[in-house]
Amino acid sequence: MNLLNKREKSILCGLYLSKFSEEGLKVLGFSSYTEAFNVLGFAVGAKPASIKNYRDELDPFFPNTRVGWHDRPLREHCRLIYEQYKDWDLASLRMLISKQTEETLEIDDAEATKDTDSFAKRLITGRAAESYFVENYKNEYVFSETELTDVTQTGCGFDFKLQSKENGNFFAVEVKGMRSRKGQIAFTDKEHRVAEIMGNTFFLYVVKNFNESPFAENIRNPLATSLHFDRIERRVIQVSWSAKL
């Protein structure tokens, strides 16, 4: 699969929302356009307003109830995406957007095509929340003089390493995302163990309220706060098949 650049991904998301409107929102698992703009925008590294603007620019070219930017010509970079994807059906565009926004989340084809809200949930708890952190982490005073390393793919029990420019010490940051202002977050067993070991150098950074206007809460040493983590055990049944020759 050829990955599109940031602007092309943004236009593709706008085209999808313009062409399929409320049905497209439902298939991706979004509760509103605002949530879609926020989540898709952060997921592709663009401003949420950019996704809305591309949708509005393409609205005159699809049968929907919005007027869009009907009084201006389609810009060339939008026209190229429009010509390439205007005739794609809902399932095909949905799969393409899944792959283009989740390329580092290791989502397989079967998972990418599920018509449930799992897509929106994955982006909110993964790609969109992490991108929000990368864009905003220096707003936290404790992180302001650090250098960031993305370790999301290393399986080390947290998402980002923030190393002090002054003394070389580092903080571990686990990023979580939530749809609304309140909800639940979950730690894997490894994340919980790492948080326990690292203590005051471990931070839980929760991006909340993607369905309206995202904001973050930064929690140092979350296991030592009023947060109560319940241990949940699940038994997995693995099925295999054998035959005698």
> How long is the chain?
245
pLDDT of 1 reads 54
The full set of domain ranges for the chain reads: 6-117, 127-224
The set of residues, in sequence order, having a beta carbon less than 8 Å from that of 170 and lying 6+ positions away, is 146, 161, 162, 163, 164, 201
pLDDT of 180 reads 94
- Write down the pTM of the prediction: 0.84
Which residue matches tokens 């993305």?
150
pLDDT of 166 reads 83
Which structure tokens are listed for 45? 């590294």
Q: Which fold has domain 127-224?
A: Trna Endonuclease; Chain: A, domain 1 (3.40.1350)
pLDDT along the chain (245 residues), means of 10: 87 97 93 95 94 95 87 92 96 91 51 58 89 95 94 93 89 95 92 96 96 96 93 85 84
Cα–Cα nearest to 52, from 31, 27, 75, 69:
69
Cα 163 → chain centroid: 24
Cα separations (Å) of 210 from 16, 48, 171, 203? Answer: 19, 11, 26, 20
> Could you please report the per-residue DSSP string of 24-65?
HHHHHT-SSHHHHHHHHHHHHTS-HHHHHHHHHHHGGGS-SS
